[in-house]
Amino acid sequence: MTANSEKQDIKNHWQNFIGGAWVEGSGGDTIAVENPAAAQQIATIARAQPDDVDAAVAAARQTFESRELIDMRPSVRGQMMLDIARNLTEMADEIALAECLDNGKTLAGGKNEAMAAARYFTYYGGAADKLEGRMIPLGKGYVDYTVPMPFGVSAQIVPWNFPLQIAARSIACALATANTVVIKSPELSPLSMALMVEAIERAGVPSGAVNLICGYGHDAGAALAAHGDVDHIVFTGSVATGRSILKAAAERVIPCIMELGGKSAGIVYADADIDQAVASTAIGIFTHAGQVCSAQSCLVVHNSVHDEVVERLTGRARGLSIGPGIEGHDITPVISAAQLDKVEGYCLGGSQAGAEAAVGGRRADAEGYFMQPTIFTGVRPDMAIAQDEVFGPVLAVLGFDEPEEAVAIANGTDYGLVAGVYTRDLETAHWTADRLSAGQVFVNEWFAGGVETPFGGTKRSGFGREKGQEALLNYVQTKNVAVKLGGGAGGRPGG
């Protein structure tokens, strides 16, 4: 089955969702959605512009002020979220196809996305009635308690690589805490998020509680981030965009969660299980063609096992098939022609700087936007391929002798999203995890962890945490209620 034949199976036009209604863009414009595996347009989606952002924020504001979500019994809100999860599970095949066609994923990868999104709604739906305040003792004559209050309208901006999971984790936290949402889908891969909003609509979520707009970043995205009636921003994307959003938020002094890029290293010690380290590294860098914020894009390997690890990894890379996700290939396309140029440009730059491509280094000879799986050796820490987020299937390998040197290489970038350690020695694992500057450290398995484990960056990778119970704290603000009890008798009821 070719990607082209699947074209018939999805709608060819998609809309935005504002105030409980599916709508076109106010300007009547559309955005073309492309299949990166075939370099062909597969659909159009209504283009939201600043007027549409105004309408979406107004709808979210009205629903928030109606108190419908906040007055609802939290267990009922939680049940509504479990209904969303059930709908997503029922729609998993449809969602998988959308992820396959506009994002280049395999059907299995797309289904995984749908199930992960459902899991976020289950996890946070279960938490909706467990977010409690505290009673603070003030002595006789007073009662004092805290209430976790929603911020109000949460503006959420999502990148193209894992739109469904990322949107699910942010929307689920917002609904569990009774915020309302305006979410902007990525212009390159918006389809699965539209399906998720159908799942939300079918669960009977109040009109205006979740509003979906698709638009360009410089236009709809910037208008949303700068909107005067937004109370809270969740941004997942690049450092450059995060910086501009933070400036807009600073103007209005509103809180932000910043989930930004990464350049993440796995350290392989001499005592590591080499089979495990090689298999895990291949998953860490080649999943979704390396377009993962937490990709293992650097391998820092002890010089005593360097050649063996490189040889095994290159052998593995040579065995990977390259082609459309819908056909189940290992290396699926990068998202666009521009992304392919960027990734290949980094590889050419790496070779010019003196690194050696042990395998790959060029785009693949194919119709869509395919990059060869690439492993560079002889990489110096100051090279761009060791410092920058390439966001493609490109691994930079560096050698080390002493543990301190390995940690210095791993920490020596502007980023600090995740990091990893491969060793059989628990003490070495803890020593290293302790010293790595990263929001999450994987020991002996890249991408270990899950919906339950807090995730987020240090340094330029951002701040705030998504996932896990900790994420909920980013969606509420504490209100303290301090009560002076009346009556000269110090609160003793009168006769």
What is the nearest approach in angstroms of ligand NAD to the Cβ of residue 259?
Answer: 3
What is the nearest approach in angstroms of ligand NAD to the Cβ of residue 47?
Answer: 12
Q: Which of 99, 113, 201, 259 is catalytic?
A: 259
**Which residue ranges make up the site for ligand NAD (CB under 6 A)?**
157-162, 166, 184, 186-187, 217-218, 221-222, 225, 236-238, 241, 244-245, 259-262, 293, 389, 391, 417, 457
Instruction: Name the token pair of 486.
Output: 């009346």
Residue with Cβ nearer ligand NAD (236 or 377): 236
Residue with Cβ nearer ligand NAD (68 or 259): 259
Residue with Cβ nearer ligand NAD (256 or 267): 256
Residue with Cβ nearer ligand NAD (272 or 451): 451
Q: Is 259 a catalytic residue?
A: yes
What is the nearest approach in angstroms of ligand NAD to the Cβ of residue 191?
Answer: 14
Rounded to 5°, angle at Cα 322 from 321 and 323 = 120
Residue with Cβ nearer ligand NAD (100 or 471): 471
Residue with Cβ nearer ligand NAD (15 or 103): 103
Q: Please give, one letter per residue, the 3-state secondary structure of the chain.
A: CCHHHHHHHCCCEECEEECCEEECCCCCCEEEEEECCCCEEEEEEECCCHHHHHHHHHHHHHHHHHCHHHHCCHHHHHHHHHHHHHHHHHCHHHHHHHHHHHHCCCHHHHHHHHHHHHHHHHHHHHHCCCCCCCECCCCCCEEEEEEEEECCEEEEECCCCCHHHHHHHHHHHHHHCCCEEEEEECCCCCHHHHHHHHHHHHCCCCCCCEEEEECCHHHHHHHHHCCCCCCEEEEECCHHHHHHHHHHHHHHCCCEEEECCCCEEEEECCCCCHHHHHHHHHHHHHHHHHCCCCCEEEEEEECCCHHHHHHHHHHHHHCCCECCHHHCCCECCCCCHHHHHHHHHHHHHHHHCCCEEEECCCECCCCCCCECCEEEECCCCCCHHHHCCCCCCEEEEEEECCHHHHHHHHHCCCCCCEEEEECCCHHHHHHHHHHCCCCEEEECCCCCCCCCCCECCCHHHEECCECCHHHHHHHEEEEEEEEECCCCCCCCCCC
What is the nearest approach in angstroms of ligand NAD to the Cβ of residue 187?
Answer: 5
What is the nearest approach in angstroms of ligand NAD to the Cβ of residue 118?
Answer: 19
Q: Residue 166's closest CA among 261, 91, 237? A: 237
Q: Which of 293, 298, 347, 466 is catalytic?
A: 293
Residue with Cβ nearer ligand NAD (244 or 351): 244
Instruction: Name the token pair of 320.
Output: 């990977």
- Give φ, ψ of 275 to 5 degrees: -60, -45
Residue nearest to ligand NAD (CB): 217
What is the nearest approach in angstroms of ligand NAD to the Cβ of residue 335?
Answer: 8
Q: Is 402 a catalytic residue?
A: no
What is the nearest approach in angstroms of ligand NAD to the Cβ of residue 391?
Answer: 6
What is the nearest approach in angstroms of ligand NAD to the Cβ of residue 240?
Answer: 7
Residue with Cβ nearer ligand NAD (215 or 399): 215
Residues with catalytic function: 259, 293
